[in-house]
Structure 1
Amino acid sequence: MASGPEAMARIPLTLADLQAARARIASLILATPLWLNDPLSREFAVPIHFKLENLQPTGSFKLRGASHKVDRLLASGRELRGVIAASAGNHAQGVARAALVKGLPATVVMPVAAPLTKIEACRGLGAEVVLAGTTLEEARTLAERLAGERGLEFIHPYDDWQIIAGQASAGLEIVEVLPTATLVIVPLGGGGLISGVALAIKLQRPDVCIVGVQTETVAPFRRFLDDGSLEVVSPSAHTIADGIKVKAPGELTRQVIARYVDAIVTVDDNAIAEAMVCLLERTRTIGEGAGVVALAALLKGKIVPRPHDRVVVLVSGGNADMTLVGRSIDYGLASSGRLMSVAVRVADSPGRLAALLGVVAEHGMNVRHVEHRRGELHVPVGMTEIIMQIETRDFAHQGELLDHFAAQGLDARNLIGAVE
């Protein structure tokens, strides 16, 4: 945890405030499962639980904060002409649903490259969708301007105490279901989720370790707990975890993180893709890139549980872009050694392909795709290059096949290779 002005700032939320917020939204959200995962628990030799926020009606935890904010706006007694939000997708869906339930008009401003699935989900919830800007920050600028022009209430995705109080309901559920939890790992973007979860847990169990996880390329909080600094993120920074691609963290969330978060780590897109595959296999549920970063950190050893730990991995969302899911799965399979693409150069004569396929079968591998290349400058006349996409167990399994080809004097190259 950090020291300095943020850590000393007064945080206006008490445990009673968080419990009252949870009661207000109880009928609007799902108290998501806290699921003990046996295979991962055996692998890490400690109990590993998934908090599955990807099962929320809108597919992410954002519904919690949005529902509470809309409730408080209506309780204020002010005349509301509607609400507006800026989001890459999950906050937009949360606001759209929260407004729909309460009969309020909703407008959401999304970057032009927002996933089509999230755009259509917002429209399906009755919201007006405005596509503007290439970044979340540009979308937010327009949303704030439209709020003033149209007389709408702007709902910030994370830097709002009422939003944080709503997100805290997830932390209250964790303590209620697993009061013996000792380590809670949470995705970290703008900080609304981890702030709420950390408050809900630390105000009851100050001994619990709270760890935030950011993506390697967009990590403004990377050194925040060490020296209070925020890292400047490159405008061109890319990550498949678009839900936490937040370059300007909140001022309020910084106060909570400084006081109640114990560590912050980062993971790269390779690890995120592998975690998407792992979650799908272990839970039969989909996690978007941002939703699985906590699992990625655990799988890659960025967080090492102690022998006595009871671990909660928070899966924050499952609104994965379907056009990205297949590519991410293949990427995750390749980076974990379960998919290879090998090019073998052989004489262009009958039976050579059948022989190669026989070798692959002997090694207990499955061929997904085969391609021939002839007449290209890198392939000598009279030869052909056969490219096989093959499903394997791990990198050692791949090595066995390559060693076999080498022993036969064949020129074979792994076109994917190990990802470090």
Structure 2
Amino acid sequence: MSSELVNIKKIKNAYNRISKYVHKTPVFTSSAADKMTGRKCFFKAENLQKTGSFKVRGALNAILALKEKNPNVSGVVTHSSGNHGQAVAWATSVAGFPCSVVVPEYAPEVKKTAIRGYGAELAECGSLPTDRNVVCDKISTEKGYVIIPPYDHEDVIAGQGTVALELLDQVPDLDAILVSVSGGGLSSGIAIAAKAIKPNIKIFLVEPEGKHMEKCLREGKRLWSDPPKYLDTIADGIRLEQPGQLTFPILTQLVEKEVFSLNNDEMIEGMKFAFQRMKLVIEAAAGAAVAAILSDKMKKMDPSLKHVAVILCGGNIDIDHLPWY
């Protein structure tokens, strides 16, 4: 599946397409994290990326690729809990397209304000995953806009995979990567790129409690609710219960079957660690990945995994409503 849809060549092409517009984000280390885990820890700071998350990589690649194929496209529309919406809004300003973004009613105001700030038209929808698609399809039909999905799109996946290209250039001797999973665009792109560059590297998924990725990966089946639901978690960026139709087969093939599941309190502790010890502002989805590497589960893993990276996927958090207050 991965070689049919997205491969390392497509990811390298994506990097060539987007690299002059996006940041090559730094990798941070932490002696405190090393001491707590007994491993060498590396933190890829996509919270410092354009628009505040990795999402801009996939959005920009998809939109620039679209422009190459159809320079006269009338505009694009997408749906997003916030970060992808911001990324598409920014990317369309680069490409010169008009843009509409459909956001659920629970999306943080800070993310909605940012989407408007990048020049996009905002349309709110209900809280169910299916509500997004209904409004998105309506706008696409009425305005003739092309839909850019947040994860189930080969150009989006290829763009997200550029995170791993950079990371393995910065830290070539990695043994494992921890990455939070929502729809699976980032995790599948990273898995394709990392495994192509270093076949023995291990990719571990990080999820909010209630997602049940481990069971689904082990059985190779989509065992989630139909229609999908949103999980009760502070991590709005990874609330979606299930990954996509394109991304799940890639994950089943390439990532480890052992998954880190974190609750809200653990995510908060991960966020606080980044804030206090590393001076990095991260959102709860990234806090989950930090909590995973600091967890007892990680301590019990194969000691040969000496160099482990964490993807700090985003930093778009409402500082007036931090989850520990």
TM-score range (shorter-chain normalised) is over 0.9
Is the CA contact (8 Å cut-off) linking 1:277 and 1:329 kept in structure 2? no
Tell me which residue corresponds to 1:230. 222
Give the TM-score taking structure 2 as reference length. 0.94
Shift of 1:120: 0.4
What CA distance in whole angstroms lies between the structure 1 residues aligned with 2:260 and 2:266?
13
Is the CA contact (8 Å cut-off) linking 2:128 and 2:230 kept in structure 1? no
Matched, 1:68 2:61: yes
The SS at the match of 1:206 is coil
What CA distance in whole angstroms lies between the structure 1 residues aligned with 2:231 and 2:161?
30
Which residue, 143, 146, 157 being the options, matches 2:136?
143
What CA distance in whole angstroms lies between the structure 2 residues aligned with 1:202 and 1:71?
26
Which residue, 302, 312, 316 being the options, matches 2:297?
302
Partner letter of residue 287 of structure 2? V
Q: How many residues align?
A: 320
Shift of 1:306: 3.6
The SS at the match of 1:170 is helix
Is the CA contact (8 Å cut-off) linking 2:229 and 2:240 kept in structure 1? no
Tell me which residue corresponds to 2:91. 98
What CA distance in whole angstroms lies between the structure 1 residues aligned with 2:230 and 2:207?
17
Shift of 1:13: 2.4
Change (3 A) 1:302 1:229: farther
Partner letter of residue 191 of structure 1? G
Tell me which residue corresponds to 2:254. 260
Shift of 1:149: 1.9
The SS at the match of 1:98 is helix
Equivalences for residues 378-393 of structure 1 within 5 A: none
Tell me which residue corresponds to 2:279. 284
Q: What CA deviation, in whole Å up to 9, does each residue of 1:49-92 have, x standing for no partner? A: 10111001201000000000001100003521111110010000
Deviating more after overlay: 80-89 vs 225-234: 225-234
Matched, 1:318 2:315: yes
Partner letter of residue 252 of structure 2? A
Partner letter of residue 118 of structure 1? K
Matched, 1:22 2:15: yes
Shift of 1:114: 1.1
List gaps (5 residues or longer) in structure 2.
none
Q: What CA deviation, in whole Å up to 9, does each residue of 1:192-216 have, x standing for no partner? A: 0001111110011111110001100
Is the CA contact (8 Å cut-off) linking 2:89 and 2:119 kept in structure 1? yes
What CA distance in whole angstroms lies between the structure 1 residues aligned with 2:90 and 2:208?
28
Partner letter of residue 71 of structure 1? L
Deviating more after overlay: 234-243 vs 192-201: 234-243
Q: What CA deviation, in whole Å up to 9, does each residue of 1:184-242 have, x standing for no partner? A: 0000011000011111100111111100011003x152312210233435847311011
Equivalences for residues 17-416 of structure 1 within 5 A: 17-77=10-70, 79-217=72-210, 219-233=211-225, 235=229, 237-263=231-257, 264-304=259-299, 305-308=301-304, 309-325=306-322, 328-330=323-325
Is the CA contact (8 Å cut-off) linking 2:37 and 2:294 kept in structure 1? no
List gaps (5 residues or longer) in structure 1.
1-7, 331-420
Is the CA contact (8 Å cut-off) linking 2:2 and 2:192 kept in structure 1? no
Over the residues paired in the alignment, what is the CA RMSD in angstroms?
1.7
Structure number with bigger Rg: 1
Is the CA contact (8 Å cut-off) linking 1:188 and 1:212 kept in structure 2? yes
Partner letter of residue 243 of structure 1? G
Give the TM-score taking structure 1 as reference length. 0.73
Could you list the runs of 4 or more consecutive aligned residues of structure 1 that deviate by over 4 angstroms after TM superposition?
Answer: 233-236
Q: What CA deviation, in whole Å up to 9, does each residue of 1:334-355 have, x standing for no partner? A: xxxxxxxxxxxxxxxxxxxxxx
Which is bigger in relative contact order (C-alpha 8 A, separation at least 6)?
A: 2
What CA distance in whole angstroms lies between the structure 2 residues aligned with 1:51 and 1:154?
29
Identical pairs, percent? 32
Is the CA contact (8 Å cut-off) linking 1:110 and 1:131 kept in structure 2? yes
